[in-house]
Amino acid sequence: MNDASNQARQGARAASLDATGFDASDWAWEFLRRNPDYIGEWRSAVPRHLPCITLKDGTQVLRLPRRFPRAEKWGLSAFADPGLDAPKVPVFWHAHALKRIVRLDARKPRSDADAARFSLAGFEVERRAVINVDGIPLVLIKGNGAYVAVEIHGLSVLTASFAPVFELHDLADLAAQTELLKRLQRFTEADVRTVPRQAGSGDERLHHALIALDESLNGKTYRQIAITIFGEKKVAEEWLGPSQFLKDRTRRLVAKGTEMMKGGYRDLLY
């Protein structure tokens, strides 16, 4: 299939993409996977795919046999298939690409009744763990349009229970770490709808920018892009209006989508 056909399929997917429950990392992947340079590097990567297993508690795990510097350049621990959208492929972001990480030491519980006892299965949401060559798991815990990245030291078996000792390296980051810990606590509740969505996740503007990007890559005019996003009726009524608002908005969406594809997606990663 040629590149034009592939872009057309991408455009159709973006316009009909069900972004319900997307968090910022999902949006970041959607923009990255459209980058032609990323697609080219993925095609030439060896291997393109690494085996991802699902543990008995539902945690998806990718164990890295070595580092993958070409993937790390894009903010990933390993390449993910750009032909698959966010709900269909587990994407494992590299710790260096994530601005905020909860770090903890996993200690052996003192007793069966230890109130501090944790396990990954206790988080009632999606869990993705990448284990680097040093054997340290980085777990992305995701739900209700939000996520928390947790780096766990001292946990040899991911399904084991542990007593967490949370690390704080900088008092200036106290407020941010407190918010992440509150979110982690809410992930242990049965109703994950209590978890506040992160700023920007599920943002309609991101979806519009993604559609604008795909249509632009397909060679569509600004007017055609506007019709796809806002509908033919609205465009017919406002496109030639004196304010030029709809034209300017469409141009900004195309520029935003292009910027996000070329590296701005990193700004979405918390």
- Tell how far CA 138 is from the center of its chain: 14
User: How large is the angle between the packed helices 222-230 and 245-261, nearest 10 degrees?
Assistant: 90
- State the first-to-last Cα distance of the chain, in angstroms, to the nearest integer: 36
Render pLDDT for 216-259 as a digit per residue (tens, 0 to 9): 999 999 999 999 999 999 999 999 888 899 999 999 999 999 99
Structure tokens at 148: 């928390």
Q: Please name the residues in contact with 107: beta carbons below 8 A apart, sequence gap of 6 or more.
A: 154, 162, 163, 164, 165
- Ranges of each domain in the chain: 20-194, 204-268
Q: Quick check: 227 and 52 in contact, CB under 8 A?
A: no
Give 188-197 contacts, CB < 8 A, sequence gap 24+.
Answer: 188/122, 188/123, 188/124, 189/124, 190/124, 192/124, 192/125, 192/143, 192/144, 193/144, 195/143, 195/144, 195/146, 196/146, 197/23, 197/144, 197/145, 197/146
What predicted TM-score, i.e. pTM, was given to this entire model?
0.89
Question: Can you tell me the distance from the alpha carbon of 185 to that of 212, in angstroms, rounded to the nearest whole number?
Answer: 37
Q: Which two tokens stand for residue 58?
A: 């539902």
DSSP letter at 51? Answer: -
Q: How confident is the model at residue 144 (pLDDT cuts 50, 70, 90)?
A: confident
| Kind and range of the H or E run holding 257 | helix 245-261
pLDDT band at residue 201 using 50, 70 and 90 as cut-offs: very low
Share above pLDDT 70 across residues of the chain, in percent, rounded to a whole number: 89
% pLDDT > 90, the chain: 73
